[in-house]
Structure 1
Amino acid sequence: MIPLIGSIALAGAHPLALAILLGVFGLLLSYFKGGSKLVNLTSQGTAGGLLIFLGFTGTMSQIGSIQEWAVGLQSANVEAGSMGYVGLIVLGINIAVYAYLAKINMRWLAIPVCAVTGLLLALGLGAGFDLTFETEMGLPNLNPVYWWGSTEQGWMLGLPNLQHFIASLPFAILAVAMWSPDFLGHRIFQELNYPRKTEKSSDGRR
């Protein structure tokens, strides 16, 4: 649903209305066991295709973000925009690291190892460590009225009305319809990482 955020906003939907509808549909599916029926109606080919599509979309988005970051790098002796190669090197080596971890059946180490590898490579290539924290430390305002009950503070959206619920309804139905292929896609991904002869799965069951 993330790529549809722009369309949802243009349609006049309200995030709180959408969340309420999703909660209601989720409870109804749970009560009537509609989730199991949707899963049975969804083929593994559909789930696998969705998983590939979402994975490809996410990968291309992250590659774009990495290159945008790399092009914006600037050091004392290098002009801005001329360090785009840093992103390509970090990406290429991380792919090689992940392939090696997959080969030795240690894919579960991919996230921490690739994160540390990318950080060390970037620093070694002159990226610099210039993190800045713009948000003040402390707990946010926990009063829901502050966030949802006003058009002058919080998210400044106010409470949803009937028009917002009507505009959010098609997107809520679409989100619920995507739950079953999304579930099957994650199950296929888990089966790829934990073959049939694996003694333990990710949730500890044998």
Structure 2
Amino acid sequence: MIIRFDFSAQSPQETCDDTAGVLFQRFGRGRVRFSVAIAQDELDRAGYGQAGYTRMEVSTIPERRPGHRSVNAPLSGTGLVLDTRTVFRARRRKRGPVLPGGILLITMCALAAGERERFLAQFIRAARFMEMQRGFIRAHLFESMASDSGCAFVNVARWQDAPAFQAAFASTAFQQLITGGFQPRSQILVARLQGCTHDARSHDCTD
């Protein structure tokens, strides 16, 4: 299954008029589509950037009908469409209930030629650390199918709340794991999931 990301930038008025929360649809044979508004936030990104997108739509597409190829657009542009495949999953290892709502942390990663394997090794080490942290729920790493897309990987992680993520992200132990130099070419977006009442797994668009 191909996972398609569509990042777009709306005008301030369109953003204000947009509905809050998550717009969600499920089709037959496991096909899913959902849309989230990118929130304003005060995260300390520790060297990571922040793209100017205001909405992310995610849909699943059967492999036999991939549709149009990924658009070659800069991360800071008005729009970006990526056809991707899931390459890694992480799930929380701490027991306890998963409450409704929370946040999505969307990290868009641009790499130079020859950096894929080094990036994946660093990402897996960092994900194993995050699996043990309070508030982490799950994460999926997606790899772009187009080499010229301007974004090689998209990581979508669900956390119980922003303070839990910020505490784990700012910890010395985590910062020592992300020393590969990818931060200046990666950007973090935040989407809030308040008001969601359906199964939390649906937000991953992969389960």
**What TM-score, normalized by structure 2, do the two folds share?**
0.22
Higher fraction of strand: 2
Higher fraction of helix: 1
Larger Rg: 1
